[in-house]
């Protein structure tokens, strides 16, 4: 089971990253960066800093999004398995089917 601190961090980060405030903050940061271009004479440093920040931010967000999707998929699968168990006429062999190897074609 994953650490509780990572679960809280991933959940909070997902909520924050998907908010309208984050979008507005991103637009504001872009505007500030663009306005600093002439001040910094369109230097390599002016270009390098946001490029590096965006690369690392993207990498971290991909990990957090994958974690969130994995948790949601696992919860959905458990709910579906419970529905199969609760229906008398359902084929219980379908429970846990996602863990079985794919059939050869």
Contacts of 46 (CB under 8 A, 6+ apart): 33, 36, 37, 40
Q: Is residue 92 within 8 Å of 84, Cβ to Cβ?
A: yes
Answer whether residue 2 shows pLDDT above 60: no
pLDDT above 70 covers a percentage of the chain that reads 97
**Is this model's pTM higher than 0.95 or not?**
no
pLDDT at position 102 is 75
Q: Is the pLDDT at 87 greater than 80, yes or no?
A: yes
What does the alpha-carbon distance between residue 43 and residue 37 come to, in Å, rounded to a whole number? 8
For the stretch 7-39, pLDDT in tens is 888 888 888 988 999 999 999 999 999 999 999
Given this model, what pLDDT does residue 13 score?
Answer: 87
The 3-class SS string of the chain reads: CCCHHHHHHHHHHHHHHCCHHHHHHHHHHHHHHHHHHHHCCCCHHHHHHHHHHHHHHHHHHHHHHHHHHHHHHHHHHHHHHHHHHHCCCCCHHHCCHHHCCCCCC
Across 14-23, 66-75, 80-89, 91-100, least confident range? 91-100
């Amino acid at each position: 089971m994953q650490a509780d601190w990572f679960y809280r961090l991933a959940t909070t980060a997902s909520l924050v990253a998907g908010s309208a405030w984050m979008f507005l903050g991103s637009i504001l940061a872009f505007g500030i960066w663009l306005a600093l271009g002439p001040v910094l004479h369109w230097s390599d440093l002016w270009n390098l800093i946001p490029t590096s920040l965006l690369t690392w931010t993207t990498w971290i967000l991909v990990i957090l999004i994958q974690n969130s999707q994995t948790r949601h998929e696992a919860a959905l699968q458990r709910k579906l398995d419970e529905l199969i168990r609760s229906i008398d006429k359902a084929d219980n062999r379908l429970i846990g089917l996602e863990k079985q190897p794919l059939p050869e074609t």
